[in-house]
Structure 1
């Protein structure tokens, strides 16, 4: 708007200048001549009033000459100023025309810019609407992006964990593959062994059947022999899996052992506390199969086994008398063993 007001003011100035320049030059000169004449008449009237006669005429002539010189000077000055104004007017006319042309061009440009501005305003409104829609879509996508980012991070963690598990499983798979191969080899070997064992088992089954038959026959024979033994072992007592014979007479250690051996047995060997308690209940002093006759101080049973469990009386064995190399079980308490000379006489206990 300021630009339009500026152009309107310039146009008004140029219009006034045109109206001034369009006045006829004759009118300008007639006005100038009239003014000069008016001034000359006024001067002449004044001269007539001031002087009369010839001196007055001379003065009047001088005044006229002077006045004419002044008028000529003013005229020359006026022409010079007019030429300058005319030159300025021409220059300003050109500038006005240029400005008018610029104004017209700028008016067209303004109109074009107004049209462009209107179009841009519509486009701006459309773009603003699109921008608002896109902003809403952006916010929605931003929320979706955040959700997807969280899901992606979770999936990344799951992927890392699954990668570790996969590597562990791969390692386990490789180990299991090796184990499988080893097991396959073992299986093949065991299959061969199984086939061999099946053959052996078949053979053993035949042998088992034969042995079962033999066992049944032996069982029948054992039962028959058991009946015969019970008939033979009258006076023997059974404890656990063994039979025990408790003598009524008295003999030395060697004779007692010989007696037992003639019956297919030997002097008693005590292997447990229960067995020691069993013979204590019989309540007799009797030889047992324990001696250090071969090496003094090293007691052994008659089967050659070393002594491990002992039931010596307090202070025994002490070797108080010469050649106390044989052991006797005395009826006093649980710990009743005593060492006495093998030539002494005592009862005896045989074990079968």
Structure 2
């Protein structure tokens, strides 16, 4: 029997299946890790940068995605280099929702997190750690951090 690759017929652009320069392809999704030196932003400004690039803040809704992001972060960053992800609890404290409105099914929080320590920690960030499934921390949304964007190739 003959196998036909339909994607080669459906793809009308020479960029199909590829990520823009500076983005990494992981399991059919393109990811951008902000690496602009010491330049960091709040959650909203980070999200706007992702939108300007044609994507949005990353939704890390599986263990596999979390582990992949940890590998990429740990390869180039220090312990305190957090990255914003597309998760907030700004409408109802303790009710975490992804930027698309989906509820958080399972978080990958550091021990003792989320703790709303400053009574205004409504945005989530992921940090490099030796325990990839315990990497998230809640932080004030205006806190300057790096960020992870995602988009379809």
Is TM (by shorter chain) over 0.5? yes
Q: In the alignment, what sits opposite 1:257?
A: 47
Q: Which has the higher strand share?
A: 2
Post-superposition shift, 1:217?
A: 8.8
CA deviation vs aligned residue, 1:42-97 (integer Å, no higher than 9, x gap): xxxxxxxxxxxxxxxxxxxxxxxxxxxxxxxxxxxxxxxxxxxxxxxxxxxxxxxx
Question: 1:245, 1:216 → 2: CA distance?
Answer: 24
Higher relative contact order (CA 8 A, sep 6+): 2
Q: In the alignment, what sits opposite 1:247?
A: 34
Post-superposition shift, 1:290?
A: 0.5
Post-superposition shift, 1:239?
A: 0.5
Count of aligned residue pairs for this structure pair = 134
Question: 2:54, 2:61 → 1: CA distance?
Answer: 20
Unaligned runs of 5+ in 1: 1-214
Larger CA Rg, structure 1 vs 2: 1
Post-superposition shift, 1:218?
A: 5.5
Q: Which has the higher helix share?
A: 1
Contact 2:90–2:122 under 8 Å retained in 1: yes
SS in 1 for 2:112: coil
Equivalent of 2:10, from 205, 216, 219? 219
Unaligned runs of 5+ in 2: 1-5
Q: In the alignment, what sits opposite 1:330?
A: 127
Post-superposition shift, 1:237?
A: 0.4
SS in 2 for 1:225: coil
Listed as ranges, the matches of 1:1-352 within 5 Å are: 219-222=10-13, 224-226=14-16, 230=19, 233-248=20-35, 249-282=39-72, 283=74, 284=77, 285-332=82-129, 333-334=131-132, 335-352=134-151
Tell me the TM-score normalised to structure 1 length.
Answer: 0.36
Tell me the TM-score normalised to structure 2 length.
Answer: 0.80
Post-superposition shift, 1:322?
A: 2.9
Q: RMSD of the TM alignment (CA)?
A: 1.9
